Structures are given as structure tokens and as C-alpha cells.
């Protein structure tokens, strides 16, 4: 599914990702952990095509298709979704308008017809109910004035509504209270499937208690320095990243 | 400096010759011969050089006066065409329409002088009781307009004025007198082609508790300038002036306003938003003057503009001048680009760049139209703004 090979990314001329190789097969959820500043968010921005995150080497493909040659919106239409570590506020654009525009743009890019307004309203209501998003939140301009936790919830709400094939969750757990973490995790788990993949970036085991990963990778100094099963996350929680200092 | 004779450009000469031999025409001629057309050396016109725009003479008029939208089908339409003045639609009681051949002009500056000079006569509208039927002033390409509007105490009128020439010199002078407790609600639309020079001057006086409420939308032209001067003369007089300018190609639009608080307890609300792309140029000059007598004035001015291309230009000059001591005045002025991070966020969700930009710009300007009370006009203006966004992002 997602295939990253020897990826190198520079930000403002500084190398941040320095030869990163990673495969996430369809149907699997992989976790990425790593110290602050390791390059986790940089990786997610490079994969989604943000300006200023310059890929200077390596490849990244989704289901065999070269991601790096595509515009951000084209990557999204291929089913790539990023739940942002810091979701943006979009003043003046009502959440529902935004989402309907996004959904229809993706459908159009895939050669599908627009979703009808009643169908969209039903879909958005159903998903909102599942994720504890209130009608009041959906009427407000996207994320404007939302609390940190509400913004994260909105990210997963958007994700559920757009139903992507490959999902990158960048610290979705940060800012969520215990109950919200549970609701959001359930929402994420519902999106798992045999033809889907997920990369879950987190600092904490407690998210991985809810969203059980197939593999755990350690990203330090711009490279994957260790990989293992779910037990690796527990070991990291106990010991920290000290032993990777030299590897990075 | 030697007292050299003012050398007029070809365009100025042409303008001199085009002015009619009416009293106002002669006054405009004398003014023009002495001072020339306003140009960038004149402080108030430093960003809007009328002389340069008319250097090659008066562009030939072209385009149409525009259709009256369905939402205004019940309106009384006053047409100002090159051939003269015409009326269309029904007139209700409490509205008196007369023409006046020689109406004096007090002050107003060069554009007022020019507009008065070109107008063969003034149309005088007297509102003696509230009008439910809106009045439309439709300026035709290349035509002058001069209107004097008097709202008697307690009366109310909705006024729409349009200037949609694709080419030519169109001028407008609107003198408005709002008596005690009267209210004028005005919606202005200017949309010009690259051959259109559109110059208007509005002078408003508001008496006790009177209200002037105006929302303008400009798409610019070769050169378009809308001047508004409001004197809140009475106690508790108020004005709301909103404006949006959406400019692309090589168009130019200028919104210049001056509000004078002369009486106490007055209120001003100004909100201007602009979005400028390609090599277009937007100009905002807004002055609020609070005289010593205008205690308890509450005035707010905001101008925010977006530069959508490298070659675009936005010039802004907000000014507050306050002589009273017990007042609340605030102003804000920003010029910036679209938020890159917001754009990326939207694109990550699958919205193509051009569409994302259009959504962001629409969201940015829309609060200017929120003050439009007439639902049909609000939809009309918002629709025009959306068409502009779609056209300019495709
Ligand atoms: N625009 C930028 N200019 C210069 N350096 C940058 C820029 N953006 C990120 N960096 C640097 O790149 C490195 C990786 O940042 P990144 O945000 O990817 O880390 P992270 O692993 O996501 O950290 P965290 O766990 O704190 O979220 C950091 O050292 C950061 O300072
Ligand atoms: Mg990060």
C-alpha cells in the first residue's frame, strides 16, 4: 500500500528526513514514535505535498502510484488523508460547506458525480453522531474558536466523512480528554479495513491501547532507527529514546 | 517659480471642449483651466491619477446600462443617459421628482465640480414620506448624473445606483440631505471595463438621529473612484459605510471617504474589504474627523485587503483626526496575502487550489455584504462577487 524508499526531505535547506524507508501493507496500522523534532510531522507534510517541504531524494508511492509528482489535492483524491497535529482555523467558511466542497472535489477528481444535498446531510449527521460532533459545531466556521480537543475530534470527523484509503494521524491524541480519546479511537477503528492503511504518529501508549498497531517504528534523527511489534511501544514508554541517541 | 501658463494635456483640452455652456459647465471649465485635472501631485489623488487616465482624451462610451435584477422589478428606475434623463416604473406618493437647471455647488472638490459641470441639469428627489418602492439610479456609459436627494424628517428610502460602462467617461454627483430621524439605505455597484473611467462624488448631510447606510461593490475600470463625504451634523446622527473592491486584470478602483462628526452622540461604522490580483490596483482613503462639539462619538473604521498576485497593488490611507475628548474611536488596517497554511489544509482535503482560494476570498469579503438589509440585493451582490471569484480562479 504505502511504500516509502530512502526518502530525503529538506526544510528551508536543512535536511530533516535523511533516508527514510518504510512499508505499510494494506490492512495494517503502523505507529510511529520518536522524540520531539525527529521529523515525524515533516514526514507527514512531505507525503501530503506541503510547500516548503522539499523532497530531494527517494520515492513514495501509494498503491504503486507516485505520490510525489502529484499536487496535494490530487493526493487527497487518491485517498490520502492527514489528520493535522495542529488543525487550521478557516474563518468564514462554514464546516459543512467546506466538507461538501471537499467531498465533491474528490469525487469529481475520481470521475464520480456530486453527492446530492440530502445524501450529504444524512451522511454528515450520521458521522457526526458517531463521533460526538454537535450540530452547533458543524454550523460554525471550520475550527474557528474550537478547543484543542474539539479540533482533533473535527479532524477525525472529516476523515470519517471523506472515507480515505490511507490515513496519517499526527498526534491525534494530544488535546483529547480520556472520554474523547475513546470516542475518537472507536471512530478511527471503524475506518480500518482490508484495503486501507494507517500511520499513527504518537508519543503515548494510551492511544495505542485503543488503536492497536500491527507494527511500531521509531523515528529519530530523520530515519527509522527501530521497528517491532506492539511491545516496542511499551518498551519505549518505559525506557524513552536514550538508546537511539547514537543511531540517530 | 515662474507664473507659466498651465499647459493642458490633449485629454484636458478635450474635456474642456466637451463641457457644456451651462453655469456649472463654465465653472468646471474655469477650474480645469486653472488647476488641470487632479493628478498624482495632488495629495488626495496621489494614487488615482485622473489626468493620466484621460491623457489621450475621453474614451468612447461603450457597454450598456445593465439590466435591473429581478429582485428590483418593483423599483422606480431613473436613467441617466447621454441623450438625457428618463423615468421607468411607478412612482408612489411622497416622492417628488423635479429637475433644476442651475443648482449651486458648495465645495466637494474637483470630481464634484467636474460631475456638476458635465450634468446638463440636476434631478431633485424629495422624499416627504417613507418609500417602500426602491429607487434605482442607472448611470449609462459615458453619461453624467447629478442628483439632489432630500429626505424629509422621519422618511425612509432605499436607493440603488449602478455604473456598468465598459468604456467611456461617466461622472456622478449625488448630494444627499437626510433630515431628523430620516434614513437612506443605499447600495452601489460599479463594474467597468478597461476603457471605463468612472468618477463619482457623494456628499451627505445627516441631521439629528438621521441615518446613512451605504454598501458599495466595485470591480474597477481603467480608473474608477467613488468619493463619499458624510457630515453627521445633528445629534445622534449615524452612518454605516461598507465597501468591497474586487479587482483583476489592470483595473483600478478607489474608495475615498471622509466622515465628519460635527454633532454629539454620533456613530460611524466603516468596513472595507478588498481583493486585488494580476496588475490591478486598489485604493482606500478613509478619514474620520471628530470635531470638538462631537462628544460621545463612537466611530470605527476597518479596512482589510488581500493581495492575490505579486503584481497587484493596494494603497491605503486611514486617518483619524479627533478634537473632542470624550469619544470612542478605533480603526484597523491590514494588507496581506492569503494564508498559505489554510490553503494547504484545504488542498489536503481535496479542494483544488483555485477553488480553495475562491472560498477563502469569499469568506474574507462576505461580511461587507452582511449589512445589506434587502435580501435580493444581498444575493445579487454576493452572486456577483462569487462570479468574479470563479472567473478569476479558473
Ligand atoms: N519551517 C522550518 N524551518 C526550519 N526548520 C524546521 C521547519 N519546520 C520544521 N523544522 C525542524 O524540523 C525538525 C522536525 O520537525 P517536526 O515538526 O517534523 O518534528 P516532530 O517529530 O513532528 O516533533 P514533535 O514530536 O514535537 O511534533 C525540527 O527540528 C524542526 O525545528
Ligand atoms: Mg510533530
Give the residue numbers spanning the domain of A19: 2-244
All three cell numbers of B86, joined, read 428618463
Picking from A73, A114, A154 by the largest number of B CB atoms within 10 A of its own CB, the best residue to mutate is A73
Strands B167-178, B144-151: parallel, antiparallel or unpaired by DSSP?
A: parallel
Q: Which H or E run includes A179?
A: helix A178-190
Q: What is the domain count for chain B?
A: 1
∠ CA B186-B189-B194, rounded to 5°: 155
The answer, yes or no, to whether any atom of ligand 1 lies below 6 A from the CB of A86, is no
Query: Is A164 close to ligand 1, i.e. is its CB under 6 Å away?
Result: no
State ipTM.
0.95
Global pTM reads: 0.88
Is residue B373 in some structural domain? no
A37 lines ligand 1 (CB under 6 A): yes
Q: Which three cell numbers stand for residue B374?
A: 434587502
Task: Give CA–CA dist B15/B199, Å, rounded.
Answer: 14
From the CB of A44, is ligand 1 less than 6 Å away?
no
| Residue B334 counted as domain residue | yes
Pocket probe for ligand 1: among A9, A12, A38, the residue whose CB has the most ligand atoms within 8 Å is A38
CA distances from B192 to A34, B171, B250 (A): 58, 13, 11
- B378 lies in some domain: no
Pick among A46, A51, A102, A146 to test the B interface (most B CBs inside 10 A): A102
Nearest to B48 by CA among B136, B131, B130, B111: B111
What pLDDT is attached to residue A134? 87
Per DSSP, B43 falls in state G
Coil, strand or helix at B34: helix
C-alpha cell of B33?
483651466
Q: Which of A188, A72, A207 is nearest to A127 (CA)?
A: A188
Residue whose CA lies nearest to ligand 1 atom number 7: A11
CB nearest A109 (choices: B339, B350, B362) = B350
What is the pLDDT, as a whole number, of residue B221?
A: 96
Backbone dihedral region of B194: left (phi > 0), alpha (psi from -120 to 50 degrees) or beta? Answer: alpha
The range of the structural domain enclosing residue B257 comes to 3-339
| Ranges in chain B, pLDDT < 50 | 1-4
Which B residues 352-381 touch A at CB under 8 Å? 352-353, 355-356, 359-360, 362-364, 366-367
Helix or strand (DSSP H, E) at A154: helix A148-162
For residue B184, what is the enclosing H or E element? strand B183-190
Sheet-wide strand order for B95-100: B95-100, B122-127, B144-151, B167-178, B195-206, B223-232, B252-261, B281-290, B313-322
Optimal mutation site among A51, A85, A88, interface B, most CBs of chain B within 10 A? A88
Residue B124 lies in a domain: yes
Q: Give the DSSP H/E element, type plus range, for residue A92.
A: none
Whether B367 is covered by a domain: the verdict is no
β-partners of residue B149 are: B125, B176
Backbone angles phi, psi at B391, to 5 degrees: -65, -40
How many CB atoms lie under 10 A from the CB of residue B273? Answer: 22
Block residue for cell numbers 490580483: B277
* Grid cell digits, residue B124: 431633485
Burial (Cβ within 10 Å: 0-12, 13-18, ≥19) of residue B315: middle
C-alpha distances (whole Å) from B87 to each of B84, B98, B99, B136, B231 are 10, 12, 12, 10, 30
CA B139 vs CA A32, B204, B374: distances in Å: 66, 19, 21
Distance CA B336, CA B275 (A): 10
Q: Is A14 in the pocket of ligand 1 (CB under 6 A)?
A: yes
**Which of A30, A17, A38, A44 is closest to A220 using CA atoms?**
A38
**How many Å apart are CA B244 and CA B250, to the nearest integer?**
17
B339 contacts on A by Cβ (under 8 Å): 88
Number of domains in chain A: 1
- Sign of the C-alpha dihedral, residues B149, B153, B185, B229? positive
Round to whole Å and give the CA distance between B171 and A200.
64
State how far the Cα of B66 lies from the Cα of B119, in Å rounded to an integer: 21
Give B347's contacts (C-beta < 8 A, 6+ positions apart). Answer: A49, A71, A72, A73, A76, B353, B356
pLDDT score at B138: 97
* A-chain residues near B382 (CB < 8 A): none
List Cβ neighbours of B167 (8 Å cut-off, separation of 6 or more): B59, B60, B61, B62, B63, B141, B142, B193, B194, B195, B196, B222
B23: its cell numbers: 453655469
Cα distances from B364 to residues A95, A120, B88, B185, B344, in angstroms, run 15, 25, 37, 23, 17
User: Is A91–B340 a contact, with Cβ atoms under 8 angstroms apart?
Assistant: no
Where do we find the cell 470635531?
B291
Three-state DSSP class for residue A232: helix
What is the mean pLDDT of each successive set of 10 residues along chain A, which is 248 residues long? 96 95 95 93 96 95 96 96 94 90 94 93 91 86 89 92 95 88 88 95 90 93 92 87 75
Please state, as a whole number, how many other Cβ atoms lie within 10 Å of the Cβ of residue B97.
Answer: 14
Look at strands B195-206 and A14-24 and give their pairing. Answer: unpaired
Which of A7, A12, A15, A16 should be mutated for ligand 1, with most atoms under 8 A from CB?
A16
Q: Domain with A40 in it: what CATH number?
A: 3.40.50.300
What is the model's pLDDT at position B1? 39
**Distance in Å, alpha carbon of B338 to nearest chain A alpha carbon:** 11
Q: Which of B351, B364, B366 sits opposite A101 (nearest CB)?
A: B351
A164 burial class (0-12, 13-18, 19+ CB within 10 angstroms)?
Answer: buried
CB atoms within 10 A of CB A70: 17
Residue B394 maps to a domain: no
pLDDT at position B6 is 66
C-alpha B229/C-alpha B236 separation (Å) is 18
Q: Do B350 and A88 touch (CB under 8 A)?
A: no
C-alpha–C-alpha distance, residues B178 and B151, integer Å: 5
Quickly count: other Cβ atoms within 10 Å of residue A98's Cβ. 23
Sign of CA dihedral B115, B117, B118, B123: positive
What is the position in ligand 1's atom list of the atom closest to the CA of A35? 25
Amino acid at each position: 500500500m504505502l511504500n516509502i524508499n530512502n526518502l530525503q526531505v529538506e526544510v528551508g535547506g536543512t535536511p530533516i528526513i535523511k533516508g527514510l524507508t518504510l512499508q505499510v501493507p494494506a490492512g495494517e496500522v503502523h505507529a510511529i514514535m520518536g522524540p520531539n523534532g525527529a521529523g515525524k510531522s515533516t514526514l507527514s507534510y512531505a507525503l501530503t505535498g506541503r510547500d516548503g517541504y522539499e523532497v530531494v531524494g527517494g520515492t513514495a508511492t501509494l498503491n504503486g502510484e507516485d505520490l510525489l509528482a502529484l499536487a496535494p489535492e490530487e493526493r487527497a483524491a487518491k485517498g490520502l488523508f492527514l489528520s493535522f497535529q495542529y488543525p487550521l482555523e478557516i474563518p468564514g467558511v462554514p464546516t459543512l460547506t467546506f466538507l461538501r466542497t471537499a467531498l465533491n472535489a474528490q469525487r469529481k477528481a475520481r470521475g464520480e458525480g456530486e453527492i446530492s444535498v440530502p445524501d450529504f446531510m444524512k451522511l454528515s449527521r450520521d458521522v457526526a453522531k458517531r463521533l460526538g460532533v454537535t450540530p452547533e459545531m458543524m454550523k460554525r466556521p471550520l475550527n474557528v474558536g474550537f478547543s484543542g480537543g474539539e479540533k482533533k475530534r473535527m479532524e477525525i470527523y472529516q476523515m470519517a466523512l471523506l472515507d480515505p484509503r490511507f490515513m496519517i494521524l499526527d498526534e491525534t491524541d494530544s488535546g483529547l480528554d480520556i472520554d474523547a480519546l475513546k470516542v475518537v479511537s472507536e471512530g478511527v477503528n471503524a475506518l480500518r479495513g482490508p484495503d486501507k492503511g494507517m500511520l499513527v504518529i504518537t508519543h503515548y501508549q494510551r492511544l495505542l491501547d485503543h488503536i492497536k498497531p500491527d507494527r511500531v517504528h521509531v523515528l529519530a534523527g530523520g530515519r527509522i532507527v527501530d521497528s517491532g511489534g506492539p511491545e516496542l511501544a511499551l518498551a519505549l514508554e518505559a525506557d524513552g529514546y536514550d538508546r537511539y541517541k547514537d543511531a540517530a | 517659480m515662474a507664473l507659466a501658463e498651465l499647459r493642458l494635456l490633449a485629454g484636458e483640452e478635450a474635456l474642456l471642449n466637451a463641457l457644456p455652456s451651462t453655469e456649472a459647465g463654465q465653472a468646471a471649465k474655469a477650474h480645469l483651466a486653472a488647476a488641470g485635472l487632479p493628478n498624482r501631485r495632488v495629495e488626495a489623488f496621489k494614487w488615482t491619477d485622473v489626468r493620466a487616465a484621460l491623457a489621450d482624451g475621453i474614451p468612447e462610451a461603450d457597454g450598456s446600462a445593465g439590466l435591473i435584477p429581478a429582485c428590483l422589478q418593483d423599483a422606480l428606475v431613473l436613467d441617466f443617459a447621454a441623450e438625457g434623463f428618463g423615468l421607468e416604473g411607478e412612482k408612489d406618493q411622497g416622492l417628488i421628482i423635479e429637475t433644476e437647471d442651475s443648482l449651486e455647488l458648495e465645495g466637494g472638490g474637483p470630481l464634484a465640480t467636474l460631475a456638476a459641470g458635465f450634468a446638463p441639469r440636476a434631478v431633485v428627489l424629495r422624499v416627504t414620506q417613507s418609500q417602500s418602492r426602491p429607487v434605482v439610479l442607472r448611470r449609462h456609459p459615458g453619461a453624467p448624473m447629478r442628483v439632489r436627494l432630500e429626505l424629509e424628517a422621519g422618511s425612509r428610502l432605499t436607493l440603488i445606483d449602478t455604473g456598468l460602462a465598459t468604456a467611456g467617461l461617466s461622472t456622478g454627483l449625488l448630494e444627499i440631505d437626510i433630515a431628523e430621524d430620516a434614513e437612506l439605505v443605499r447600495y452601489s455597484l460599479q463594474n467597468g471595463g478597461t476603457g471605463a473611467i468612472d468618477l463619482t462624488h457623494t456628499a451627505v448631510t445627516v441631521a439629528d438621529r438621521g441615518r446613512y447606510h451605504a454598501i458599495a461593490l466595485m470591480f474597477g475600470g481603467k480608473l474608477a473612484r467613488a468619493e463619499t463625504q458624510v457630515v453627521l451634523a445633528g445629534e445622534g446622527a449615524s452612518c454605516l459605510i461598507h465597501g468591497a473592491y474586487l479587482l483583476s486584470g489592470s483595473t483600478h478602483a478607489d474608495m475615498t471617504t471622509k466622515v465628519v462628526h460635527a454633532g454629539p452622540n454620533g456613530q460611524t461604522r466603516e468596513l472595507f474589504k478588498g481583493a486585488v490580483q494580476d496588475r490591478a490596483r486598489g485604493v482606500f482613503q478613509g478619514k474620520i474627523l471628530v470635531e470638538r462639539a462631537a462628544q460621545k462619538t463612537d466611530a470605527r473604521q476597518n479596512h482589510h485587503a488581500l493581495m492575490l498576485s505579486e503584481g497587484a497593488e493596494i494603497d491605503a490611507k486611514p486617518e483619524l483626526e479627533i478634537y473632542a475628548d470624550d469619544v470612542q474611536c478605533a480603526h484597523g488596517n491590514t494588507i496581506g496575502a492569503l494564508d498559505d497554511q489554510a490553503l494547504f489544509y484545504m488542498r489536503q482535503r481535496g479542494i483544488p487550489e483555485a477553488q480553495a482560494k475562491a472560498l477563502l476570498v469569499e469568506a474574507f469579503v462576505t461580511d461587507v455584504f452582511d449589512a445589506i438589509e434587502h435580501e435580493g440585493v444581498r444575493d445579487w451582490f454576493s452572486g456577483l462577487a462569487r462570479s468574479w471569484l470563479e472567473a478569476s480562479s479558473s
